[in-house]
Structure 1
Amino acid sequence: MGHALGNSLQDLMIRYNRQKGKTTLWLPGCDHAGIATQSVVEKALWKKKQQTRHDLGRTQFVKLVQEWKEDYHQKINNAIRKMGGSLDWSREAFTMDEHFSAAVSDVFVRFHEEGIIYRANRLVNWDSTLTTALSNVEVDSKELSGRTLLDVPGYDRKVEFGVIVHFKYPIENSEETIEVATTRIETMLGDSGIAVHPEDPRYTHLLGKFAVHPFIEGRRLPIVADTYVDREFGTGAVKLTPAHDPNDFKLGMTHKLEFINVLTDDGLINENGGAYQGQKRFDVRYTIQDDLKKLGLYVDKKDNPMTVPLSERTKDVVEPLMKPQWWVKMADLTEPAVKAVQTGQIKIKPESAEKHYLQWMANINDWCISRQLWWGHQCPVYRIHFEGEEESPDTNDRWFAGRTEEEALAKAKKAWPDKKFKLVRDEDVLDTWFSSGLWPFATLGWPKDTPDMSRLFPTSVLETGWDIIPFWVARMIFLGIKLTGQVPFSEVFCHSLIRDSDGRKMSKSLGNVVDPLDVIRGIELQALHDKLLTGNLAPVEVKKATSYQKTAFPQGIPECGADALRFALIAYTTGGGDINFEVKVIHLYRRFCNKIWNACKYVLGKLDTVKDFVPAKQPALTGNESLSELWILRKMNNAAKEITEALEQRDFMHSANHVYAYWYFQLCDVFIENSKALIQEGSEAQVNSALQTLYTVLEAALVLSHPFLPFITEELWQRLPRRSGDETKSIIVAKYPEWDPQFENPEAEAAYDIVLGCSKGVRSLVAEYAAKDEAKIFIQAYDAASHKTVSEQKSSIRSLSGKGTMEIEILSPKDTRPTGCVAFPVSSAVSVFIYVKDRVDFDEEIAKATKKLEKTRAAVQKQHKLIHDPVYLEKAAVATQNVEKQKLADLETEANGLETTLEQFRQLKLE
């Protein structure tokens, strides 16, 4: 559903700007999503055949991934088309197609030659399930307040986290011990030293001595002094595992400690773990504690608040692991990328997204770009192996980058002219975001100097989710500036994340993802349940997801259509908090689409009643317009201005609200209703004027709405007769309406607002006092201008007041207030009255109104308390808060009206 939101907003912008006459390009395509795709395919392979990728081999596995990609790719494209995406499909790109792959290799080689890409053996985030390194932004953090049991892939039982284990190391040639503590007891197998503060009197006598490892024969742990150690924390002695902890890594470098890796790539203990070799790391977590107890070296275990790093894709616990990898130096790349945003070359909206970008860039580390996967761009770099050499060192001088193997070979021969050797290509692939970061310009032909690069780069707007600012947005900016000398785009708009109706992030692993096609076409509850079984969810997760579906969609999902889904998603977009997905909101907009259809059906029907009706060549005033026509034409003008301004400011929610208000509250509820009387009772000139105005305001409504509702507007626009000389073939290129000064008539608008206020007052009074058939209505104006308006518009007031028969009498400013009536104040200039004296029991009405007022006041207090609750303000989405504020305003209005009614009844009782 997040993709549906992004596609809806992107298509809204592209259609709007296309209709404004601008050169537009929305280029379709996708990246290869290395980790995500390989993870999904591996899970499916195991679920269906109980095989791993290694059972297939690299070639067959990549072929399987390619087949999965093609199938899924078609589904994605089909969904985009069903949503109305108006992309240039002839330009569709994929990050692993031939041209794009060549661009990726070109960047790697350039950066390697400049020293921006380098080889280093250092700690990386290691996913033992996928057996690959991860970047920091691919790691989630799970906060724990204390002891917690977590599910870990590959383990039948839950694993304990959120505790710190205290144990003792024996001092060499002594009866003394030194106590240390750790939250990852299994890594003590890789300990190679102990650090204490140089001024800590408890340990100064131990400096220079050694502790003895209880499980690894012959391993001695030097006790070193370092001011990094906090004497007040724990025991003041810190066990050092340089190969498995970032802080220990630095201390290990400082004190020249041994770096001992104790984990295999798939999370087992390796040969450095002594007797524990071959066992799972978290099984060893428990075994070591038992063995320490047997030796008398175990002290205790306590709750310990901590953060557990989890792989975003596999949910495995990420391990810091020493691995030689390819890295990108970020220092020189980030400075111009930060400056571009700070100086306004690139505007990031909303402001919170810009802050997120700048904060991340300020704390950025060098970027690990190699991945131990099979799906992706294989690193275009070759390692030299000299003849007779048993093992080639993994150092920078042994690696040669080349766009082709021949290029790498030429570099190697130049570096080692007198050596015999062979080159072996690195098996690792590049981080997906390394290639995705080239998207704005590689898709236009870069590194070649193509016409598209000259004409279409830099691009205008990037629309995306704020959650991938570090993954994608930042990388496109710094790579774009470095490689092209220009910013890749001038604006970034970040939409909110879509959550389920319970406020949880939509995730395939939770089974709460809603397929946009299911909303468009509708789906029964059982079919939703069945779809859960086709994925890779574990049985326990299927059960949870099924339960959620029963609560969220008890009757399944009704057919809503693409237009309603698009409109709802656009109307949801505030640029603020995240969005809680509600099917009932989308269904509301399906009814809105029905309203549009019926309105057009009515107008087209009326146009057909006039033989050879021809719309005017241009929308223009003729002087024959009635007051209601002048009113709707100004509303049309205002709508064009307000929608345009909202779209230009990326205020998508209000742009949708303006579209909705123009159709629903102005065109349908008011003018179309009023036009019925004009057409039935007017002269030939009045009827023709009314029809021309109907055509103009309907045409404008369809064209204004097209970027939001492409399907229904195209269908209905095609049914409209064309203006003379208009050869536009499709609404997609119809000129977007603009504000026109000829339709500005605030006096007419104000006058007709009085008419609308009177009709509202009549409907309200008639409904309240059940007098629909024989109601006697008085309208009194208190100034000459208002009296003239209501007198001339009496038939319009009656038409807009409902279908019932009623008597309406217009009173002048000189007339006295009618007796025996309840009033509805329209404004300071006009009031509507209904005669009730012989029709109601005043005592009964006073009692009813009093009871209702008490209930409404209680509701006001409850609503006021809700919208000022600090917890609610922190957690509720902005859109939800706005709805609740409106509820409070409506309740307060209702309470004020009831107070007025009570006062009127008390006065009537005395008459």
Structure 2
Amino acid sequence: MAASWCHMRFFYRRYGLKKYKGHRISASTCYAIQVYSTTAGTGHSEIASSRAAKKDVSGPLPSTYDPEYVESGWYEWWVQQEFFTPKAQGVVGGKQPPFVMVLPPPNVTGTLHLGHALTCSIQDAVIRWNRMQGRETLWVPGCDHAGIATQVVVERKLHQECHQSRHDLGRDRFVEEVWKWKNEKGEIIYDQMKRLGSSLDWSRASFTMANKLSDAVVEAFVRLHEEGLIYRRNRLVNWSCALRSAISDIEVDSIPVSGRTLLAVPGYDRKIPFGVLTSFAYPVSETDGEIVVSTTRLETMLGDVAVAVHPDDSRYHHLHGCHVRHPVTQQLLPIVLDDFVDMEFGTGAVKITPGHDHTDFLVGERHDLQKPNVISDDGHMVNVTPPFNGMRRFVARHHLTKFLKEKKLFRGEEEHSMTVPVCSRSKDIVEPRLKEQWYVDCQQMAKMAAEVVESGELKLIPRSHEKVWLDWLHGIRDWCVSRQLWWGHRIPAYQVTHQGETFWVSGRTDDEARRKAAVMLAVTEGEITLQQDEDVLDTWFSSAIFPFSLHGWPQQSADLSHFYPTSLLETGSDILFFWVARMVMMGLKLTNQLPFQEVLLHGILRDSHGRKMSKSLGNVIDPMDVIHGTSLQNLQEQLKKSNLDPSEVKRASEGQQKDYPQGIPQCGADALRFTLCSYDFTSGEINMDITHARNYRHFCNKVWQAFRFVQTNLGEGFHPDTSLEINRTYSATDLWILSRLSHMIKSCDENFATYDLHHVTRALHQFWLTEFSDVYLECVKPVFLSGTQPEQDNVRQVLYHCVETYLRAVSPFMPFLSEELFQRLPARGDNWPVSVCVAQYPQPKDYQWANADLDSTMATVKDIAYHSLSVRKELNLTKTRAANLLICTDATKREQLSDFRLSLQTLSRASDFSLVSGRQGVPDGCLQTQLSDTCCLAVVLKGVIDPQEHLPKLKNKQRKLESELERVTQGMSRTVDKQVAQKMVEKSEKLKAEIEKIKIYISAVENL
């Protein structure tokens, strides 16, 4: 530990723990820090080192559950042992094809957020289950170069550290800086995945800008271009002036505003108002009249080329064929007739700006109008009349308002609900602009992608996504794939210049492009001048071929033939079209195969209040903060380091103080994974509540403590039976827990197969908590105290079998805890697996002990015990045990329950428990509770309680309940709200039942 002090300091600072100076550190925490110090920050190439020796579990099991201790050491050993590399583990049920998944590659820019943690937890559970089924499995990690996001981060770093822009450096030096940053920071997210326990094959980790994948991107582009499916066209695009690049639809956030709203815009000192509809008049040239138009983007009037009215609008019949005069340029603009105009909105006249509006562009196409571009790449007005030429667009908006007022053409402003398009990366206002860009013709590929879903060849889970899939593909637009960035895959297209003629060719290399051009022009290659396009491809282009590019496509590698197509794609439903649909289209087109057979889609992760997770709300959660815990102070320090506006920092800070007043407790990776998989993640939205993770951390402790009990009672020298054959006199309680174990295994098997992981976690949680720990372990304690040796031996075998089975069953969700405990179990037979990771998942055929009669009888036992414990609680019998009798007139039921007599006594905390056929065997001084038509519970109170002490308390409680009932009854007579009235009725019925119960108690105590 001498070399670990600096790592301790990092550990405490990173996770917001108490000051490291002056505090004692537990041995388990020291071990966790020591392991962290030897593995944190290592790449996947280094993790399989000599340090990754198997964790020593020969010592005693610590008395308390500590996730830092439990989750340290195992991952490095798993990787070193190559458990995650594809190989058949011993097939269950015959030869099966490999089960393959690719991890949706997260952006290289940042760290994991809870959405990534959800994806990793779901996929890891599925891949671990398949691995334990004996299938050959492969889960491939990857990282996306994230063109825009990465460039923004590095540009910001350059500005902060050197006060330089990328243009100061030049393209080549800037790209070098990006690679340097990627190599320094790119492993962070991989390290976090490892901390989550994700069982990825790191030897195949793929970065979308790596040579192998870059070659595949070039190949895909060239093939599609040669086939005519990629073409170049001048069209409107989403343009970020701050980035000076086109952006995809997914990078546009639609911000609704209900009226005048001030928004911060990059490059402006003051916030800019949006949600304002400005009206102004265009004078009609041929008459003395005018046409009033309205717009929320006044600056675009400098690019107006026409005014449109509906041909049936009687207000403008006399102006058909006329023109209006532009007050700035003095140009005459035609009045065009078009039925797209809504006659009921405003004046029924619409200004037309084809170069900066998608709808207007189509109008311009129909009427053969010019499409001037009046806003530059960086957001300044261009190609317009002074003094507006050169003004920034929103400055021009302000000055145009003044200009129109001076010309007496201003007709007012009013608040207007609208949606403001904002670039998610730069927070700039997105500007529609005409730009010459590269497009993918998606029509034929979209048709194929629709057909595979309609035929059932591709399965979407849940099926509710099928309709939106088909609707989107049937209405698909061609895909703009060029971006005006320097970081990314440079487009392999070249502009050819020859004798004043220019055109474009594509090529895998400069030489190939030159040869193509020479052939097309029938000249020698030396006569050709080439210039490669400066733009790069949309990041989604490389992502669309990721399932096969990572295996070396177009080369026919062994991996490509064996592991492609993949088996399952699991991802968020929000990128169904941006990524999933494009992978299907590109896979079908370029490989003639579907890239996967099934798509499992999870919903959007929100906070416990149902709000979208946002930095400005302060509700974004770093999964590492859940795993390790962090203080409120640390959360707020992270806010201060963000790029949020001060007002947003204040709002986010207040949100954190409300939601995490005590910070976030340490939960561990196992508890976080179990929590995320416990949600019905296929629903549209998932409301994540940190208290659930804390509760499952307590559940991990329950597993730990129950294991300690079992380990203690197995004792030294215990030898488990190779298989549990029911060939001895097992008790009814033993057989019942084996029945419940069988039900659990069946539920896990069925629901894993359908990816209903929330049902699997529910079955696992219920078995261990409410059946094994709360019932069975309590029932066997008396056996170890006073049972015979054969009875104790039976219980030991059942305990071992339940625990060993459970650890295998829970392993896909809690890999660390299950491994820690599995390694401490005595080996069963010679073929004992070296790790729970590669042990066989419990199979229903091996657990044929389901017994409905025993399950029903134990349900009755628990109900009887519940009523007996209610009496103990009501009469405060915390230090006294009373004798119980069950009066059961049904001989069959009485015989069934007699097999559980010891369990009844134990669970009821009774001094004795008897079963009798009639009331004649019941002594005086009993409190009797009728449980059913044939069963009545009698609790002996005589000589157990003091009537003088309990009667006043019971009568006082009766008065309070009656007073409360009277208040509720009066409220019922006054309320008119049906829902409120219904709740009052329910409360009234509950109070009446409580009063009747208290009356029975009072009567029984009075008769003592």
Whether these two folds match at TM > 0.5 is yes
Give the drift of 1:890: 12
CA contact (8 A) 1:782 1:829 kept: yes
Instruction: Decide which of 498, 522, 537 is 1:430's aligned counterpart.
Output: 537
Matches within 5 A, 1:529-540: 529-540=636-647
1:12-161 aligned within 5 A:
12-161=125-274
Give SS of 1:575's match. Answer: coil
Among residues 679, 702, 712, which one is paired with 2:807 in the alignment?
A: 702
The counterpart of 2:380, out of the listed 264, 268, 271, is 268
The amino acid that maps onto 1:619 is L
Give the secondary-structure state (helix, strand or coil) at the position aligned to 1:63: helix
Deviation at 1:47, TM superposition (A): 4.3
Match of 2:648 in 1: 541
Where 2:781 maps in the other structure, the secondary structure is helix
Distance 2:744 2:222 in 1: 54
Single out whichever of 579-588 and 472-481 deviates more from structure 2.
579-588
- The equivalent of 1:875 in structure 2 is none
Is the 1:758–1:831 contact (alpha carbons within 8 Å) kept by the matching residues of 2? no
Q: Matches of 2:922 and 2:544 in 1, distance apart?
A: 74
Q: Is this contact kept in 2: 1:260–1:272, CA < 8 A? A: no
Q: CA deviation at 1:147?
A: 2.7
Which structure 2 residue ranges, 5 or more long, are not aligned? Answer: 1-113
Matched with 1:904 is: 1000
Per-residue deviation, 1:376: 0.9
Rounded Cα–Cα distance in structure 1 between residues aligned with 2:412 and 2:439: 41
Stretch moving more, 556-565 or 524-533: 524-533
Structure-1 residue corresponding to 2:840: 735
Matched ranges for 1:268-307 at <5 A: 268-307=380-419
Q: 1:354 to 1:452 in 2, by over 3 A?
A: same
AA at the equivalent of 1:770: N
Aligned equivalents of 2:509 and 2:607: distance in 1? Answer: 48
The DSSP-based 3-state class of the residue aligned with 2:186 is: helix
Q: Any conservation in 2 of the 1:765–1:824 contact (CA below 8 Å)? A: no
Contact 2:616–2:651 (CA under 8 A) maintained in structure 1 = no
The 8 Å contact of residues 458 and 487 in structure 1, kept in 2 or not, is answered as yes
C-alpha contact (below 8 Å) 1:333/1:479 kept by paired residues:
yes
Q: Which residue in 2 is equivalent to 1:250? A: 362
Deviations 1:587-641 (A, max 9, x none): 11111111111111111111125xx321111122122211111011111111000
Which of 761, 771, 793 aligns to 2:867? It is 761
What amino acid is the match of 2:333? L
Q: Counterparts of 1:763 and 1:890 in 2: how far apart (Å)?
A: 25
Q: Summarize the alignment of residues 284-433 of structure 1 with structure 2, pairs less than 5 Å apart.
A: 284-386=396-498, 389=500, 398-418=503-523, 420-433=527-540
Q: How far does residue 672 in structure 1 lie from its aligned partner after superposition?
A: 1.5
Structure 1 residues 682 and 4, CA, compared in 2 at 3 Å: closer, same or farther?
Answer: same
- With over 3 angstroms needed to count, the CA separation of the structure-2 counterparts of 1:812 and 1:38, relative to structure 1, is same
1:621: which partner in 2? 726
TM-score, normalised via structure 1 length: 0.91
Secondary structure (helix, strand or coil) at the match of 1:748 reads helix
2:551 paired with 1:444: yes
**Residue 892 (structure 1) shift:** 10
Matches within 5 A, 1:540-689: 540-609=647-716, 612-689=717-794
Moved more, 769-778 or 317-326: 769-778
8 Å contact kept, 1:818–1:833: no
Are the aligned partners of 1:627 and 1:752 in contact in 2 as well (CA < 8 Å)? no
**C-alpha contact 1:117 1:329 (8 A) present in aligned 2:** yes
Report if the CA contact (8 A) 2:254-2:421 is conserved.
Answer: yes
User: How far did residue 300 of structure 1 move?
Assistant: 1.5
Change (3 A) 1:774 1:367: closer
Matched residue of 1:364: which SS?
coil
Of 649-658 and 838-847, more deviation after overlay is shown by 838-847
CA contact (8 A) 2:617 2:655 kept: no
AA partner of residue 392 (structure 2): K
Cα distance change of structure 1 residues 153 and 817 upon mapping to structure 2, 3 Å threshold: farther
* Deviation per residue, 1:645-693 (Å, 9 max, x gap): 1222222212111111111111111112222222222222221111111
Rounded to whole Å, the distance in 2 between the matches of 1:889 and 1:347 is 47
**Structure 1 pair 135/451, CA: closer, same or farther in 2 (3 Å)?**
same
Aligned equivalents of 2:144, 2:954: Cα separation in 1: 68
- Residues 880-902 of structure 1 show CA distances to partners (whole Å, capped at 9, x for unaligned) of xxxxx9x9999899668525514
User: Secondary structure of the equivalent of 1:247?
Assistant: helix
Distance in 2, Cα, partners of 1:367 & 1:273: 35
Q: In structure 1, what is the Cα distance between the partners aligned to 2:505 and 2:163? A: 39
TM-superposition CA deviations, 1:761-801 (whole Å, max 9, x none): 32222111123415242222222233334445433322233
Relative to 1, partners in 2 of residues 1:124 and 1:857: Cα closer, same or farther, differing over 3 Å? farther
Equivalent residue for 2:110? none
- Equivalent residues of 1:856, 1:895 under 8 A apart: yes
- Measure, in 2, the Cα distance between the counterparts of 1:61 and 1:888: 69
3-state DSSP of counterpart to 2:386: helix
Return 552-561 or 66-75, whichever deviates more: 66-75
Q: SS state of the match for residue 221, structure 1?
A: strand
Q: Which residue of 2 aligns with 1:4?
A: 117
**Which residue identity is paired with 1:442?**
S
The CA deviation at 1:519 is 1.1
1:901 counterpart letter in structure 2: K
Q: Distance in 1 between matches of 2:933 and 2:185?
A: 64
Structure 1 equivalent of residue 621 of structure 2? 514
**C-alpha distance in 2 between matches for 1:341 and 1:730:** 40
Amino acid corresponding to residue 511 of structure 2 in structure 1: E
Counterpart CA distance in 2 for 1:644 and 1:563 is 21
Letter in 2 for 1:408: A
Amino acid aligned to 1:764? S
Q: 2:446 corresponds to which letter in structure 1?
A: T
Q: Please say if residues 965 and 992 of structure 2, whose CA atoms lie closer than 8 Å, have aligned partners that are also in contact.
A: no
Whether the 8 Å CA contact 2:904–2:913 is kept in 1: the answer is no
Structure 2 residue 957 is the aligned partner of structure 1 residue 848: yes
Separation (CA, whole Å) in 1 of partners of 2:124 and 2:885: 51
Listed as ranges, the gaps of 5+ residues in structure 1 are 873-884
1:750 equivalenced with 2:750 (yes/no): no
CA distance in 2, matches of 1:242, 1:489: 42
State the 1:297 CA deviation.
Answer: 1.1
Find out whether 1:783 has 2:890 as its counterpart: yes
1:137 and 1:470 in contact (8 A); partners too = no
Quote how far apart the aligned CAs of 1:176 are: 3.7
- 2:573 corresponding residue in structure 1: 466
Counterparts of 1:858 and 1:374, CA distance in 2: 73
**What SS does the corresponding residue of 2:801 show, helix, strand or coil?**
helix
Shift in Å, 1:340: 1.3
**1:522·1:557 contact (CA, 8 Å) conserved in 2?**
yes
* Deviates most, 771-780 or 645-654: 771-780
Stretch deviating more after TM superposition (4-13 or 899-908): 899-908
Over the matched positions of the two proteins, sequence identity in percent amounts to: 42
CA distance in 2, matches of 1:214, 1:279: 18
CA distance in 2, matches of 1:843, 1:542: 57
Is this contact kept in 2: 1:151–1:157, CA < 8 A?
A: yes
Cα pair 2:305 2:334 within 8 Å, conserved: yes
SS for the counterpart of 2:775 is helix
Q: Tell whether the 8 Å contact from 1:261 to 1:272 is kept in structure 2 after alignment.
A: no
Partner secondary structure for residue 613 of structure 1: coil
TM-score scaled by length of structure 2: 0.82
| 2:607 maps to amino acid | D
Which piece of structure 1 moves more, 705-714 or 224-233?
224-233
